[in-house]
Amino acid sequence: MLKLGILDQSPVLTGEGAAEALRHTLALAQGADRLGYTRFWVSEHHNAKGLAGSSPEVLLAAIGAHTSRIRIGSGGVLLPHYSPYKVAENFRLLEGLYPGRVDLGIGRAPGGMPLVSQALGRSSGKEREEAFERSLTELGSFVGTGTPLETEHPLAGLSATPDVPTVPDVWMLGSSGYSATVAAKLGARFAFAHFINGHGGQSAVRDYLRHYRPGPLGGKPGVAVCVFVLCGEDDEEAEREARALDLRLLYLEQGEFNRAVPSDEEAERYAYSAWDRARIADNRSRMIVGGPATVARLLPAFARSYGADEVIVTCMMSRADRRLRSYERLARLFIR
């Protein structure tokens, strides 16, 4: 049976605000726990008013308190902005609260415009890239998946607290071959963001599995792939629901990061150009859209194309109740 997890970006819906988006995320996590999904990840975005999730660690603390079984995790913490030591302590604390349920997903994207990096006080550009693998090695030592830092390291002997008996699972998240290479080199599990880049992911995963070796971020390989999935009552309804996401992706390509998820009416009346329609057709490579019969056929084939252990599904619709129903349909198809 195909394993399914969820990535939720806390999208702000038309006519609502960020507080409502966060409440929808919490309710969705409770629903996912009830439905039997394997994991529930939340994202990190900055200076983007269309997405409410700017601090996954804080949101995960609330989600863990309102769920009982499902794994919870970051999709992901943007490590170049932060001290590896502080990230490790945040996730060791979560692991202490919710033992055996925590995933530490790591990304390297800025999560916003250059001003975000400046405001967060971390390096950018070439300096950041050169420091990334070093930060990952330090993170593994502090979070508990790696060995202690070597004696010549300036932080040798430092321990991250709390001192709890279990450790989070560490995932590298990425939409390119670079992240797959780093994950394989350092021993992390790897999740490919097909919902961001619909091309080249299968090759990245094959390279990851071919070159994987245990390292400071873990001791065994694991593969997940994240994709947009909209499962309607039938194909026709799913296509109607997908229009809001089609338009949202167009807005993002135009640099409009602060827009809410469009309403049905906005998506219907938008004056699409020929170029817009070509972009929509290309963006559909990042989605699986259909009724239950269509999704039941397409989603397992998609997972097989990656050789993935699990599919992380993400869904944006114009209304929160419709989004939940999509996840409920998926659960009926694939979760027993």
Task: For 98-121, write each residue's pLDDT tens digit.
Answer: 999 999 999 987 656 667 777 776
Rounded to an integer, what distance in angstroms lies between the CA atom of residue 200 and that of residue 124? 26
285 alpha carbon, distance to own chain's centre: 18
Give the model's pLDDT for residue 127. 55
Listed in sequence order, the residues at least 6 apart from 291 whose beta carbon sits closer than 8 Å to its beta carbon are: 231, 232, 233, 234, 235, 236, 237, 238
**CATH of residue 230:** 3.20.20.30
Rounded to an integer, what distance in angstroms lies between the CA atom of residue 110 and that of residue 311? 24
Give the model's pLDDT for residue 243. 96
- Residue 26: which pLDDT band, with cuts at 50, 70 and 90? very high
Whether the pLDDT of residue 126 is over 60: the answer is: no
Give the model's pLDDT for residue 83. 94
Q: Tell me how many domains the chain contains.
A: 1
Mean pLDDT of all residues in 149-169 = 93
What b-and-e string marks burial along 150-169, b requiring 16 or more CB atoms within 10 Å of the CB? eeeeeeeeeebeeeeeebbb
CB 43 within 8 A of CB 314: no
* For the chain, percent of residues with pLDDT exceeding 70: 96
Rounded to an integer, what distance in angstroms lies between the CA atom of residue 256 and that of residue 295? 30
Strand-pair partners of 190: 172, 223
- Residue 309: which pLDDT band, with cuts at 50, 70 and 90? confident
Give the model's pLDDT for residue 124. 52
Mean pLDDT of all residues in 254-279 = 95
Q: Is the pTM here over 0.85, yes or no? A: yes
Average pLDDT of the residues of the chain: 94
State the residue range of the domain holding 67: 3-334
Mean pLDDT of all residues in 266-271 = 96
What are the tens digits of pLDDT across the range 39-68? 999 999 999 999 999 999 999 999 999 999
